[in-house]
């Protein structure tokens, strides 16, 4: 394992060195080919400078364009062409594949589901993000609230699937409902349901997961836009007598409408590419207050301000509940997990178990009565709270209180398991020993055994190392390549620049699934030519790098001036790239495979969802292992993340 991490770090250093060497040598070579030194002919020097200006942008853009063409442009074109051929790709069938797809009931249903997701998720995320941004921008603990609400962005879709699948968990029969939603429904007299299998409505239960994850992103971006609203416009509206509602809809929303559209579009693109949630679940601060802080009465002490604090606190608690649930559950004893919901963990749990009293042969006379006495063995330990004679009524009688039965019989079962079964006559010699049902209370039990099991026996430890091996190089190398390309697009003038920017932005919309078949063909052919496996770490590093892109000399200017000034934005990009690579499932499964030695954390967790779907002690511990590193990265570097996101936000005048 250690050697694997060393190899990943070595690959990162080698990749960075190769990229830096390319940019340095290519720029030096360009300067040698088209010299413009002091003392040279003025006309020739001017021509050479102009030629440098035409060539240099393409040196900066070269690696990024190469990766984009190989991993996105070519695969999209190749996939489109393949769509007109038969299953083996050799026979031209025209539009037959499209006719089949449009006539297939399941395909049409999937189109309807996609449209439904596109209509609901972006609108809900943008709306909730805007409302939360407005509220959190005017309370003193707003940054803490924002951090909590943004936190789900650090969790993978597969991890979120485990979290919400646990919330939707259904237990049949008389078993206690350990899923939070069914427990609440049952509390109010409703009937528990298998929510994620209800036709049509299951779409909305799955959408909640993506809304929970993406609302924080919308909130941060819209909060930056709100801080850019000129204070004068808010103050003028207040002076004119506008209330908070009017200021929000008629002053603030129009001024951030462009940002709202950007957030909505970004989340729409994400919805088009969503894959992991459906697969995993269904198996398959600046201290200065800006204008946004001054919305009428909400900016002054009083009931309205108290309402804002209470509302934000409620939202924060709701956002925390899902993650808190798996964290607590992963620390509980496996028997207690299935016996009661995690919210009862600090108060202990209760469970129903069956036991048998001794038979009639153990009866002893006691005056005119006969008595069977003894002590019941309580499997798993605990204290008896109540007992009953029918499985439907395990709490019919309180422990320690005598139960009057038929035929002159009485039964007393104490909390420690001792019992006295008495009859005013002899027991029938051939009667079976009486069966009783017990409600047993167990004190809280917390353990780290679940983590020991998943890190050792379930292969999560190896998958953890695999994820680090994939993530380290695939985070650092794309940053360097993207930074040079971004510098060329932002600061260099050259023909075709606007078209190139439009092309790069347009490629963001392309679903990764469109690239997979042509790329796998290339990888397989390369593997056959060189006699090496087609699914390797270098292969997935290249794939993540490509998919992650979507005076002094220019090189020295970039390295010594542009890069330092762009640190917040680069740090923000690095965090997003790290979280994306670490949380990825699809690319890892396609380009690295699913064998145990190369399985990354998200793929291992997804496999456990299928093989250990009912073992919540395993699933919750595994899920928390997958999210612990992203959470540490998020909380440790969130100031850089926010600073990078707000880098383009300026106060209006």
pLDDT tens figures, 308-326: 788 888 988 999 999 898 8
pLDDT of residue 173: 66
HSE of 18, CA atoms in CB hemisphere, 13 A: 12
Question: What does the pLDDT read at residue 552?
Answer: 43
Instruction: Tell how strand 435-442 and strand 349-356 pair up.
Output: antiparallel
* Three-class DSSP labels, 26-61: HHHHHHHHCCCCCCCCHHHHHHHHHHHHHHHHHHHH
Q: Which of 369, 358, 364, 373 is nearest to 412 (CA)?
A: 373
C-alpha to C-alpha distances, 124 to 56, 213, 223, nearest whole angstrom: 44, 12, 16
Among the residue ranges 76-80, 139-143, 255-259, the one predicted with the least confidence is: 139-143
Residue 124 pLDDT grade (very low, low, confident, very high; cuts 50, 70, 90): very high
* Full-model pTM: 0.76
The CATH number given to 2-83+463-603 is 1.10.3720
Q: What is the per-residue pLDDT for 43?
A: 79
Give residue 395's pLDDT: 86
- Per-residue pLDDT of 404-436, as tens digits, reads 888 888 999 998 889 999 988 888 877 888 889
CB distance 482 to 548 below 8 Å = yes
Lowest-pLDDT choice from 32-46, 167-181, 317-331: 32-46
Top-confidence residue, 349 or 472: 472
Mean pLDDT to the nearest integer, 369-394: 85
pLDDT tens digits, 336-350: 788 788 888 887 777
- Structure-token pair, residue 550: 């979507």
Mean pLDDT score, 516-539: 84
Per-chain mean pLDDT for the chain: 81
Give kind and range of the element (H or E) at residue 71. Answer: none
- Percent of the chain whose pLDDT exceeds 70: 88
Q: pLDDT tens digit string along 191-221?
A: 898 888 888 888 899 899 999 999 988 998 8
Cα separation of the two ends of the chain:
56
pLDDT (average), residues 96-125: 89
Alpha helices in 531-566 (DSSP H): 537-547, 554-557, 563-565
Cα–Cα dist 111/102, whole Å = 10
C-alpha span between 598 and 535 (Å, rounded): 9
Q: CA 135, CA 259: separation in Å to the nearest integer?
A: 18
User: 341-366: b or e for each residue (b if 16 or more CB lie within 10 Å)?
Assistant: bbebbeebbbbbbebebbebeebeee
Helix axis angle for 460-491 and 42-68, nearest 10°, is 150
Dihedral (Cα; 87, 508, 267, 630), 10-degree rounding: 90
* Structure confidence at residue 603 (pLDDT): 85
- List pLDDT tens digits, range 559-578: 455 555 566 667 777 788 88
Using the predicted structure, report yes or no on whether residue 592 has a pLDDT greater than 90.
Answer: no
The pLDDT of residue 299: 47
Residue predicted with more confidence, 120 or 228: 120
Q: Which residues lie across from 387 on neighbouring strands?
A: 397, 438
> Hey, what CATH topology would domain 109-342 get?
MetI-like fold (1.10.3720)
Q: What is the model's pLDDT at position 298?
A: 44
Residues forming a β-bridge with 158? none
pLDDT category of residue 291 using cuts at 50, 70 and 90: very low
The strand pairing partners of 365, in sequence order, are 370
Per-residue confidence band for 1, with pLDDT thresholds at 50, 70 and 90:
low
By percentage, how much of the chain surpasses pLDDT 90? 7
At residue 403, φ and ψ (nearest 5 deg) are: -105, 120
Which pLDDT score, from 0 to 100, does residue 120 have?
Answer: 93
Q: Is 211 helix (H, G, I), strand (E, B) or coil?
A: helix
pLDDT band at 652 (very low <50, low <70, confident <90, very high): very low
Contact 514, 77 (CB under 8 A): no
């Amino acid at each position: 394992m250690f050697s694997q991490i060393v190899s990943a770090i070595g690959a990162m250093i080698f990749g960075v060195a190769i990229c830096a060497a390319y940019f340095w040598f290519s720029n030096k070579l360009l300067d040698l080919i088209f010299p413009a030194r002091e003392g040279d002919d003025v006309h020739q020097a001017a021509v050479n400078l102009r030629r440098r200006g035409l060539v240099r942008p393409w040196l900066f853009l070269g690696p990024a364009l190469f990766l984009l063409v190989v991993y996105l442009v070519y695969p999209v074109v190749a996939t489109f062409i393949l769509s007109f051929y038969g299953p083996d790709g050799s026979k031209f069938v025209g539009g037959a594949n499209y006719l089949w797809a449009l006539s297939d009931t399941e395909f049409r249903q999937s189109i309807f589901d996609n449209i439904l997701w596109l209509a609901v998720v972006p609108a809900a995320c943008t709306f909730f993000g805007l409302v939360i941004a407005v509220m959190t921008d005017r309370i003193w603990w707003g940054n803490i609230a924002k951090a909590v609400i943004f936190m789900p962005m650090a969790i993978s879709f597969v991890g979120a699937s485990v979290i919400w699948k646990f919330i939707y968990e259904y237990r049949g029969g008389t078993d206690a409902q350990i899923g939070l939603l069914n427990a609440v429904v049952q509390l109010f007299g409703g009937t528990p349901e298998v929510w994620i299998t209800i036709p049509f409505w299951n779409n909305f239960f799955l959408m909640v997961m993506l809304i929970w994850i993406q609302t924080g992103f919308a909130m941060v971006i819209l909060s930056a836009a709100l801080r850019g609203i000129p204070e004068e416009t808010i103050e003028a509206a207040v002076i004119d007598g506008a209330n908070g509602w009017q200021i929000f809809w008629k002053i603030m929303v129009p001024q951030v409408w462009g940002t709202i559209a950007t957030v909505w579009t970004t989340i729409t693109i994400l919805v088009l590419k969503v894959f992991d949630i459906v697969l995993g679940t269904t198996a398959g601060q600046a201290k200065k207050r800006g204008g946004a802080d001054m919305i009428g009465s909400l900016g002054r002490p009083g009931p309205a301000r108290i309402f804002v604090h209470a509302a934000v606190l409620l939202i924060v608690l709701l956002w925390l509940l899902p993650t808190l649930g798996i964290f607590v559950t992963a620390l509980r004893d496996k028997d207690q997990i299935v016996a009661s919901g995690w919210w009862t963990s600090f108060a202990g749990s209760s469970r129903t178990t069956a036991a048998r009293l001794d038979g009639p042969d153990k009866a002893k006379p006691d005056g005119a009565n006969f008595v069977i006495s003894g002590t019941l063995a309580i499997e798993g330990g605990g204290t008896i709270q109540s007992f009953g004679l029918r499985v439907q009524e395990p709490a019919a009688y309180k422990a320690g209180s005598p139960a009057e039965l038929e035929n002159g019989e009485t039964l007393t079962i104490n909390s420690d398991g001792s019992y006295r079964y008495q009859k005013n006559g002899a027991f029938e010699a051939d009667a079976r020993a009486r069966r009783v049902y017990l409600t047993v209370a167990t004190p809280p039990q917390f353990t780290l055994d679940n983590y020991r099991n998943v890190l050792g026996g379930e292969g999560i430890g190896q998958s953890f190392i695999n994820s680090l091996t994939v993530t380290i190089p695939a985070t650092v190398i794309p940053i360097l390549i993207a930074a040079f390309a971004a510098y060329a697009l932002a600061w260099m003038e050259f023909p075709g620049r606007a078209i190139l920017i439009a092309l790069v932005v347009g490629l963001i919309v392309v679903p990764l699934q469109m690239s997979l078949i042509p790329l796998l063909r290339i990888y397989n052919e390369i593997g056959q030519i060189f006699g090496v496996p087609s699914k390797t770490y270098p292969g997935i590093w290249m794939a993540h790098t490509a998919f992650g892109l979507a005076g002094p000399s220019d090189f020295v200017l970039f390295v010594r001036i542009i890069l330092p000034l762009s640190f917040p934005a680069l740090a923000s990009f690095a965090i997003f790239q790290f979280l994306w690579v670490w949380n990825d499932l699809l690319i890892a499964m396609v380009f690295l495979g699913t064998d145990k030695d190369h399985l990354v954390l998200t793929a291992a967790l997804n496999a456990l969802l299928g093989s250990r779907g009912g073992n919540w002690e395993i699933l919750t511990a595994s899920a928390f292992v997958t999210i612990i590193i992203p959470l540490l990265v998020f909380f440790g570097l969130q100031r850089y993340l926010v600073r990078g996101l707000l880098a383009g936000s300026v106060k209006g005048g």
